[in-house]
Amino acid sequence: MQFNDIIGHEEVKAHLLHTAKDNRVSHAQLFLGPEGSGSLALAVAYAQYINCENKQELDSCGVCSSCKKYQKLIHPDLHFSYPFFAKGKDEVAVTYLEEWRKAFLGNPYMGLDFWRQNLDAENKQANINIAEAHDIIKKLSLKAFEAEYKVLIMWLPEFLDVQGNALLKLIEEPPAKTLFLLVAENQDRILNTIISRTQLVKVSKLDHEKVKQYLISDFNVDAQRANEIAFIADGNIQAAIDLLDEEANPYFDVLIQWLRFVVTDSGLNIIRFCEEDFPKLGRENQKNFLLYAINMLRQIILIQQGLQQLVLLQGQELDFVRKFSENFTGDQLEMAIDMLEKTHYKVERNANPKILFLDLSLQLVLIFKYQTFPQGTQYI
C-alpha cells in the first residue's frame, strides 16, 4: 500500500512523510478516523514507507523487496492485530491472517461488518482477547528479521478492553526499532492508559467530492448516481461501496414517508413504521438511514442560511429540502438533528430498534408538529 493509492488526506500524508524524513518517528501512534476514511490504509502505507529500501520524495518506491512484501502483507516484520470472533480462548489474530490479508487487499477502507462477512462469525462478539495480547508481546520480543523496524498495526483497539493493560509496558518501553500503529474509530472507547502513551494522528472523514470522484473512476458509476451515493455515505468509502449494490437511493422514500407521519402526528402509522419497517432495515442500514436523515436536515439549514452553493443535492431530494426549509425553523431542525445523533449512538450499541425509533418519532412529533422542545433528564 502506497500513499498514492489512498484517496485524499494530503496533509496527513505530508505530516507522516516529514516524521520519517526528520527521523522523528514516534514508537506508538494512534491513527484516529471514522470508518471508511482510510486510516488503516494510511497506517500500512506509513509502515511501508518507513521500511522502504529506496524511499522517494513523496512515497515508497513500490519495487524494492520490502515494498513488494508489504504490498502483499507478507513481510516478516509486519504484524497485524484486529478484532476477531474467537471459537476458543487460545485463538489469536494470526489464526485468521489469510482471511485478513484477503479482506484488506480487497477493500483497504473496510469496516468491522465487512470484516465480519469474511469470517464465520455466527453470533459471536468481536474481541481482542488476552491470548492475543500475550502473542503480541511474544512476537515483538524477537529481533527484526530483515527490516529496520518491526511494525505492529492494531486495528480497532476499542475491542481490546481491560486485557490491553498487559500491553502497557511494551507500548511505553518497546524494544528498539519497534513501531506500534493503532488504528481506531472511537477514542472514547479506548483505554485511557493506552491513549496517554500514543501520539495522535487525526484522520478526517473524506469530503463529498473525493468520494464522488472515487466512485466514478474506480467503479465507473455515472456522475449523478455517484453524487447521490457520496451524499448518503458522508465520507465513508465502505458505506459507499455497500450502496453500489442498491439500484436506487434506499432511504429517500423511507425518510419522506416517515416524516410525513411525524409532522401530521399520525400515531398508528408511526407505530407501524417503528414496529415493522425500521427493524427490517437491520442495524447497519438503520445507522446509515439516520446519518442520511441528519445530512438531509443539515442541507435544509444551509438553504435557510442562504448557502445554496454548498448544497450537494439534486432532483427530488433538492425539491424536498427546499419545501421543508419553508415550513420549519432552524431551532426545530437543530433539535431534530440532536435527537437523530443520539439515536444513532444508541443503535451502534445494539439498543432495541423498535423502542428507539418510536421514542425518536414521538420526540420529533413534539418538535415539528407542536413546536415543543423536549427538556430534562428523561430525554438523555
Percent of the chain whose pLDDT exceeds 70: 97
Q: What is the CATH number of domain 3-202?
A: 3.40.50.300
Q: What is the pLDDT of residue 124?
A: 72
The three cell numbers of residue 173 are: 518501553
What are the domain boundaries of the chain?
3-202, 249-370
Cα 122 to chain center, whole Å? 22
Answer whether residue 376 shows pLDDT above 70.
no
The three cell numbers of residue 372 are: 415543543
Answer whether residue 379 shows pLDDT above 50.
no
Rounded Cα distance between 177 and 180, Å, is 10
Q: What is the pLDDT of residue 121?
A: 67
CATH topology of domain 249-370: Zinc Finger, Delta Prime; domain 3 (1.20.272)
Closest CA relative to residue 140, chosen from 75, 52, 78 = 78
Rounded Cα distance between 143 and 126, Å, is 30
Rounded Cα distance between 166 and 169, Å, is 7
Tell the residue number behind the cell numbers 480497532, with chain if given. 156
Rounded Cα distance between 242 and 221, Å, is 13
Are 330 and 277 in contact by the 8 Å Cβ rule? The answer is no
Q: What is the pLDDT of residue 55?
A: 95
Closest CA relative to residue 286, chosen from 225, 367, 352 = 352
Are 285 and 300 in contact by the 8 Å Cβ rule? The answer is no
- DSSP count for the chain of H helices, then E strands: 18, 5
What is the tens place of the pLDDT at every residue in 183-235? 999 988 888 888 999 999 999 999 999 999 999 999 999 998 899 899 988 99
What is the tens place of the pLDDT at every residue in 154-190? 999 999 877 778 888 888 888 889 999 999 999 888 8
How sure is the predictor about 285, in pLDDT bands with cuts at 50, 70 and 90?
confident
The three cell numbers of residue 166 are: 498487559
DSSP 88-155: STT--GGGGHHHHHHHHHH-TT--HHHHHHTTT-TTPPPB--HHHHHHHHHHHTSPPSSSSSEEEEEE
Per-range mean pLDDT, top range of 51-65, 295-309, 339-353:
51-65
Q: What is the pLDDT of residue 380?
A: 42
Closest CA relative to residue 82, chosen from 72, 90, 92, 70 = 92
Are 52 and 46 in contact by the 8 Å Cβ rule? The answer is no
How sure is the predictor about 377, in pLDDT bands with cuts at 50, 70 and 90?
very low
Are 179 and 151 in contact by the 8 Å Cβ rule? The answer is yes
What is the tens place of the pLDDT at every residue in 93-151? 999 999 999 999 999 999 998 998 888 766 677 889 899 999 999 999 888 899 999 99
Q: What is the pLDDT of residue 313?
A: 80
Rounded Cα distance between 235 and 9, Å, is 12
How sure is the predictor about 308, in pLDDT bands with cuts at 50, 70 and 90?
confident
The three cell numbers of residue 151 are: 511494525
The one-letter amino acid at 367: I
What is the tens place of the pLDDT at every residue in 23-49? 999 999 999 999 999 999 999 999 999
